[in-house]
Amino acid sequence: MANNKLKILYLMRLFLERTDEKHGLTLEEIASALGEMGISVERKALYSDIEALRTFGIDIQMRKEGATRYHVVSRDFEMPELKLLVDAVQGSKFITPKKSTELIKKLEALASEHEARQLQRQVFVAGRIKTMNESIYYTVDDIHEAINSNSKISFQYFEWNVEKEKVLRHDGKIYRVSPFALTWDDENYYLIAYDSENEQIRHYRVDKMQKIKVLGERRDGAERFRDFDMAQYSKKTFGMFRGKEELVTLRCKNKLASIIIDRFGRETQFFKVDGEHFEIHVRVAISPLFLTWVLNFGTDIEIISPGSVRAEFAQLLRETLATYEN
């Protein structure tokens, strides 16, 4: 009797789990499945129950396919969207293998059991480079709480040594910052925050933060973020490496146009030099990662100015060459 009171809920779950655009159920199959759950149902009552689910918003269609079958033909998430989310989860370095598997299982529950098999075939979590920090989800939650409550946070920051052990930065110093944004860049999750002590905007790898606490202090630095552009910040900060910001002129071969647009955006102005080259002026943080990015392209990209950056790049080339010659 208790199950009969929940009949409409069991019926909804039956439709969502076992039917989709390509797979339907007959009234006999529905009645049989409900019977296995201890729910007795009459064919006439099923019509009104199905209509009630339609009124509630479940998109159920009746189709003649030899026998008459009922399908849920649309859901909150379509299959291409679920596949995209699965790809994002398995491709995310900051999500551990254990949590990736758990999240993908939950995404499968948003599809029918037939469609879930398509998502399972996409699961290739094993062997991917993933974070080892299981507490990252709680860290992210705490950061969002601090941002929403306009509060500072404190935490310790660590890195890995050659023994693959955690080593706290600055002898376990407690960092105290004002969090303003989270961003996903170069396969990692970063906190963008204001450091009052140094009066600078800084970023921190979320998976390298530990013992985070939301403090009872209001955030500083709001004026610095009033015109802050996250997209521009990411463009000029290669791999989120800090460095002195410079306006750099790069001379590029025409064949690199697509790569330059991918890196700096379509709005970047191209200045034609000759039939084979164009130049761009971009503001970047000068770091080893920026210089090695330029090095990737050999003679296809040349740093034209400023002279100090050009000299720094030349020094990197000499040191690299010396390593291999010796």
Q: What pLDDT digit, counting tens, does each position of 261-309 carry?
A: 888 888 889 999 999 999 999 999 898 889 999 999 999 999 999 999 9
- Token pair listed for 79: 């299959």
Residue whose pair of structure tokens reads 């330059």 in the numeric block:
260
CB 146 within 8 A of CB 152: yes
Higher pLDDT, 158 or 241: 158
**Looking at per-residue confidence, does 228 or 123 come out higher?**
228
pLDDT band, very low/low/confident/very high, at 133 (cuts 50, 70, 90): low
- Out of 1.10.510.10, 2.40.37.10, 1.10.10.10, 3.40.50.300, the CATH code matching 2-74 is 1.10.10.10
> Which of 17-26, 86-95, 207-216 is predicted with the least confidence, judged by mean pLDDT?
86-95
Query: Which pLDDT score, from 0 to 100, does residue 230 have?
Result: 80
Going by pLDDT thresholds of 50, 70 and 90, the confidence category of residue 148 is very high
For residue 27, the model assigns a pLDDT of: 94
Mean of all residue pLDDT scores within the chain: 88
* Percentage of the chain lying above the pLDDT 90 cut: 58
Query: In whole angstroms, how far apart are CA 34 and each of 12, 46, 111, 207?
Result: 11, 11, 20, 46
- Judged by average pLDDT, the poorest of 84-93, 114-123, 145-154, 275-284 is 114-123
- 151-168: average pLDDT: 89
- How many Å is the Cα radius of gyration of the chain? 28
- Of the candidate CATH numbers 3.30.420, 1.10.10, 2.30.30, 2.60.98, the domain formed by 136-227 belongs to 2.30.30
- Residue 127 pLDDT grade (very low, low, confident, very high; cuts 50, 70, 90): low
Domain ranges of the chain: 2-74, 79-120, 136-227, 235-325
- pTM flag (> 0.75): no
What is the C-alpha separation between 308 and 298, in angstroms, rounded? Answer: 19
Which of 28-42, 238-252, 296-310 shows the lowest mean pLDDT across its residues? Answer: 238-252
Share of the chain above pLDDT 70, in %: 92
Same fold, 2-74 and 136-227: no
Determine the Cα–Cα distance for residues 84 and 120; give it in Å rounded to an integer.
13
